[in-house]
Amino acid sequence: MEHLYDTQIKDLELKANEIRETIIEMLIEAGSGHTAGPLGMADIFTALYFHILRHDPRNPDWPDRDRLILSNGHIAPVLYAAMAHSGYFSIDEARKTLRKFGSRLQGHPHREWLPGLETSSGPLGSGLSQAIGMALGDRMERGRHSNRFFYCLLGDGELDCGQVWEAAMLAGREKIHNLIGFIDRNNIQIDGFTEDIMPLEPLKEKWEAFGWHVQEIDGHNFEEIVDAVNEAKAYFAKPSMIIAHTIPGKGVEFAERRFEWHGNPPGKGPADVVAKEAQGEEMLRELRTLRGRIKSEHE
């Protein structure tokens, strides 16, 4: 996978901002859903869908595609927005049908309803096990030199689940080199800050002790994201985990780093900075301003 040029970085930054705007529009229409995590992971999903993944929106079942497994399914708005912008379905469907009765875009992804989804997710902690099962099946089918990669996205609060660590042990034992994980290290979960609720540090050393190749990156820096994946792909002896330090609520100043926005949509978040009835429009205003700033910085 090629290194990024400046023009590509600009395009990815603008696309990530478009995806953030779509996320907010989706949440406003739905009146429910998660805000902080989807905004924080927009850069990771943009890098995946617009630069890293081998996939074909016109042929979602292409056998040689990479697999993306979303374990923390509650950040589904960013997955749906990235898929819509890359052509799996219309952006209008994303904006108008999230969490609606009978919609293909449920609050947690439902594999049987939407082409391009690899798994259904809801209960936290199971995605890594699913990804390992897929990767081991791929090894049985294609051998150890398969050119498919399996990407698993996890939340840091999700690491409280014991099943994650059982899966981590198995992947380390089996040396699944084409398994690449991303941890959204945003330091929040629904009840507060991760280090207050169930401390995770030293996180890098824990994954290394389980037999993983581990990198830590700025989850909003496209060069670091792409370089980390390139390094992970080149590391044949172990599975790889990329700990991506992100800002929950990224792009909306009054929501950034606040755990209260974990599970609340615009209009239902804390009203100490922006009144509830104005939150949605203010979020969109900030993101549109950011779009202009990105354009001017690259001129």
Q: Nearest 10 degrees: CA dihedral of 97, 279, 82, 163?
A: -90
Q: Tell me the pLDDT tens digit for each residue of 3-46.
A: 788 999 999 999 999 999 999 999 999 999 999 999 999 999 99
User: Shortest CA distance to 67 belongs to which of 87, 52, 80?
Assistant: 52
CA angle 155, 157, 159 (to 5 degrees): 80
CA angle 226, 70, 99 (to 5 degrees): 125
Query: Tokens 């052509």 map to which residue?
Result: 87
pLDDT of 172 strictly over 90: yes
CA separation for the pair 103, 94 (Å, rounded): 10
Q: Tell me the pLDDT tens digit for each residue of 200-241.
A: 999 999 999 999 999 999 999 999 999 999 999 999 999 999
pLDDT of 122 strictly over 90: no
pLDDT of 298 strictly over 80: no
The three-state DSSP-derived secondary structure of the chain is: CCCCCHHHHHHHHHHHHHHHHHHHHHHHHHCCCCCHHHHHCHHHHHHHHHHHCCCCCCCCCCCCCCEEEECCHHHHHHHHHHHHHHCCCCHHHHHHHCCCCCCCCCCCCCHHHCCCCCCCCCCCCCHHHHHHHHHHHHHHHHCCCCCCCEEEEEECHHHHCHHHHHHHHHHHHHCCCCEEEEEEECCEECCEEHHHHCCCCCHHHHHHHCCCEEEEEECCCHHHHHHHHHHHHHCCCCCEEEEEECCCCCCCCCCCCCHHHCCCCCCCCCCCCCCHHHHHHHHHHHHHHHHHHHHHHCC
* Three-state secondary-structure class, residue 129: helix
Q: What is the pLDDT of residue 143?
A: 83
- Average pLDDT of the segment spanning 112-122: 93
Give 215-230 as a DSSP string: EEEETT-HHHHHHHHH
Confirm if 3 and 228 have CB atoms less than 8 A apart: no
Taken in order of first residue, the domains within the chain and their CATH numbers are: 6-297 (3.40.50.970)
- Average pLDDT of the segment spanning 109-137: 95
> pTM for this structure?
0.97
CA separation for the pair 68, 65 (Å, rounded): 9
Q: Tell me the pLDDT tens digit for each residue of 86-96.
A: 999 999 999 99
